[in-house]
Structure 1
């Protein structure tokens, strides 16, 4: 345990030093979380004063509590002291790197051990930086900010790689990934999984009538209407292809799936987008196929993920053949479809 106050008495006034001149160019950075791990309470308070105007600061006095927090909550960057009892910083770094839930979190070591061997050890363990005490406040703050900006832009790129550029819904790649994850989780825990396949009725005719620019606008509006129905973080809305969308609803039974499906139908109708070529209501409508996989009621080998998607597709075609602007549904257990 070593105090950074010994050679940096100005840290006691860090709050007043940085609170006035710490405007952030990108307001989104304020939402980032910086976790400081140090067994000396004075250091924790100093780091809190230094960074709280820019980030959400989480203070942990020991490595084990820090690791548990990082597993359960989102942390963007960790300032980690090396010299701590019970579990030192090097062991904590190794543990964080070994856990799939925390391996991605960048770590900056903050320590009084300033030898090249110690720095090399820290970097070999996977730390992104190594800062020796006594600290230069201005340099430390800039190093943290540089890391936070890199994290922020990396996350933006990750999001963009998962999003359909036109509609803002998940793209096909992300949709397939999340569907597989939720399908595997459903089998593992014996829950239910609902899948909606949604298609805009007579969309080709809409494009032919109103043009592709108006068609793109229609796709955006329909996607927004579908996403507006989403109520949980775990619910996934994605563009499956062309004018077709999919909604993945984990832990959702047939009754819950039908509630969502009928809300989607009504939301799209309420857009009241003119569609002279749509014989049903002269407005844009959608058809929906709903399949529900009840893992407790099925033998796992009876239905594959591809088979589950196929069941939802079959119901979509049934809805199309039943006059469109409606929902057809089935459970994997019985494979009996109905009209709603």
Structure 2
């Protein structure tokens, strides 16, 4: 049902106070309502603070939330095809969207209606006609909570010194990509990267310079990432790892050689090196090919050990280079029954 109060938003909400934290302005607010006048008014109310996505159909809204990142949903109840309660239940039952907070914005004002919405998993229930100031504050409170929760989640996954993924996050993502590679019969590349003679660097220049070196190297490694799915992590000490999904040996070598070149370009002085007198890295590359073939199945541990072995070979061959190997495994044929 259209709300005449919302039509005033265009003229009366230009004086709203902007949020001080610039990061919050990038959050996405999806508004789901079958009345265009309500959608346009809500857009005017919130577009100065958030990225606003307007949907007039609950099924399309669910499809969008599955494919794109959404921070918060304002959801009407009374809609054709699929009502708000049904949409909320569908969103909460899907692992890809269950985490998205939902605020019902509706003319259904009975206590039973509100209880039903909250039992379905909504975080708030706002009844029309709306107090625009209160609605905006409620949305802001939710967005701030979402922001700080995501910030904490992010910090728990990041190495504090270098900004790369920490070891726990690296192990988690490697396991996920390994399982996905087996499931779909793709390739997975793993680079193990070690700074050459780093103990000598620390002994020569001190630990503060050593930390700065680690930061510069990590930044260079992350700058070579081609896709969002590529993972760069600090494996431990002066050792880093790069996980490259859907990447064969040729692609892995391209990334490895770019890394070697990028580190050399830093021209970080290292008097302890016998040649060049700059910081370099050695790289071990292992590529896991999950295809139908007559090879014994390989575990994730075997895969990581192979990358470590290739790193040792690169070190043994004079450092400042890459050594690689390809691993194949068997995927059981799909049942015809």
How would you bin the TM-score normalised by the shorter chain? over 0.9
**Residue 145 of structure 1 corresponds to which residue in structure 2?**
140
**Residue 337 of structure 1 corresponds to which residue in structure 2?**
none
Mapped partners of 1:91, 1:115: distance in 2 = 18
Q: Is the 8 A contact 2:157 2:169 kept in 1?
A: yes
1:275-314 matches, within 5 Å, as 275-296=270-291, 298=293, 302-314=297-309
Structure 2 gaps of 5+ residues are 330-337
Mapped partners of 1:83, 1:202: distance in 2 = 67
Q: How many positions carry a matched residue from both structures?
A: 329
Shift of 1:317: 0.6
Shift of 1:107: 0.1
1:106 aligns to 2:101 (yes or no): yes
Mapped partners of 2:7, 2:83: distance in 1 = 26
1:16-165 matches, within 5 Å, as 16-165=11-160
Q: Secondary structure at the match of 1:195?
A: strand
Mapped partners of 2:229, 2:14: distance in 1 = 37
1:92-241 matches, within 5 Å, as 92-241=87-236
Mapped partners of 1:207, 1:216: distance in 2 = 9
Q: Is the 8 A contact 1:194 1:292 kept in 2?
A: yes
Q: Is the 8 A contact 2:291 2:328 kept in 1?
A: no
Mapped partners of 2:314, 2:154: distance in 1 = 33
Q: Secondary structure at the match of 2:64?
A: helix
Q: Is the 8 A contact 2:298 2:328 kept in 1?
A: no
Q: Is the 8 A contact 2:26 2:51 kept in 1?
A: yes
TM-score (norm: length of structure 2): 0.94
Mapped partners of 2:25, 2:295: distance in 1 = 46
Shift of 1:121: 1.4
TM-score (norm: length of structure 1): 0.94
| Residues 297/202 of structure 1: CA separation in 2 closer, same or farther (3 Å cut) | farther
**Residue 3 of structure 1 corresponds to which residue in structure 2?**
2
User: Which residue, out of 7, 12, 15, partners 1:12?
Assistant: 7
CA RMSD of aligned residues (A): 1.4
Q: Is the 8 A contact 1:22 1:54 kept in 2?
A: no
Mapped partners of 1:307, 1:318: distance in 2 = 16
| Residues 250/174 of structure 1: CA separation in 2 closer, same or farther (3 Å cut) | same
Structure 1 gaps of 5+ residues are 335-340
Q: Which moved more, 1:93-102 or 1:176-185?
A: 176-185
User: Which residue, out of 233, 251, 257, partners 2:246?
Assistant: 251
Q: Deviations over 1:249-273 (max 9, x none)?
A: 1111111100110111111111111
Shift of 1:299: 6.1
Shift of 1:223: 0.4
Q: Which moved more, 1:17-26 or 1:270-279?
A: 17-26
Shift of 1:62: 1.7
